Amino acid sequence: MSTISKQNFKFLDELSANNNRPWFEQNKKRYELYHEEMIAFADALLNEVNKFDVIETPTGKKSLHRIYRDIRFSKDKTPYKTHWGGGFKRAEATRRGGFYYHIERGNAFVGGGFWSPSKEDLLHIRKQIEMDAKPLRKVLKSKAFKDYFGSLEGDTLKNAPKGFDKEHADIDLLNHKQFIIWHKFTNKEVHDKNFYKEVAKGFKKMLPLFDVITDYLTTDLNGRSLL
């Protein structure tokens, strides 16, 4: 079964209220049960995504993030995450960007885009935008994009990036350090038996943005392929 149960959310609620190792060890069997539930969901989701994209992540289980938090450099020393999350990596050479899913009561969403482009990639994207932002603007202004995602998100600079004109008509896009989009779901939607299909549909709706930025990254400023 690929359905995310209401009992799964109940476990996460209780974990949030008892985020400590003794409680977790006492409830390890429950964790394993709902972890298996999430693996089934992720496997079904991966199967759907592979129908329209090329994913390097081999299995749904491999897409899931560990529930154990890395607390080495964090002021928050609670040892466990209180949500399920995972991501799929797209084929690097011809398709860039990645998909993310987040499952939590009252805060379930799909996200995607370019979370942490390298310094070189970010500069190249900016140069492409500086030269011709129309393909990106077309996606961001489309009704389908605005109705589902709203707007482009991600960290931005307060001032123009070095080497770029602060008066440039597309300075709002040039200031982006990340290119991220996301869409939220209700608890009712999460528990539907076909929720994995809805998440896959959300990922598919991201492709126009991915296609533009992939084209930016895989061509030079004269439009010649870099592959």
* Assigned token pair, 133: 């932002």
Closest CA to 4 of 33, 24, 28, 25: 33
C-alpha span between 34 and 11 (Å, rounded): 8
Amino acid 96: pLDDT:
79
Amino acid 94: pLDDT:
67
- Main-chain phi, psi angles of 124, to 5 degrees: -65, -40
Count of other CB atoms within 10 angstroms of residue 151: 8
- Helical packing angle, 207-218 and 195-205, nearest 10°: 40
Q: Is the pLDDT of residue 2 over 90?
A: no
- The mean per-residue pLDDT over the stretch 118-133 comes to 97
Summarised one tens digit per residue, pLDDT across range 25-45 is: 999 999 999 999 999 999 999
Identify whether the C-beta of residue 24 lies closer than 8 Å to the C-beta of residue 31: yes
CATH classification (class only), 6-218? alpha beta
Amino acid 227: pLDDT:
82
Summarised one tens digit per residue, pLDDT across range 41-70 is: 999 999 999 999 999 999 999 999 999 998
Confidence tier at 123 by pLDDT (50, 70, 90): very high
- Helical packing angle, 207-218 and 134-141, nearest 10°: 170
- The mean per-residue pLDDT over the stretch 100-123 comes to 96
**E strand or H helix that includes residue 182:** strand 179-185
Summarised one tens digit per residue, pLDDT across range 204-213 is: 999 999 999 9
Closest CA to 88 of 48, 123, 120, 121: 48
Q: Where are the domains of the chain?
A: 6-218
C-alpha span between 19 and 73 (Å, rounded): 18
Q: How many helices and strands, by DSSP H and E, does the chain display?
A: 11, 4
- How much of the chain, in percent, has pLDDT values that exceed 90? 90
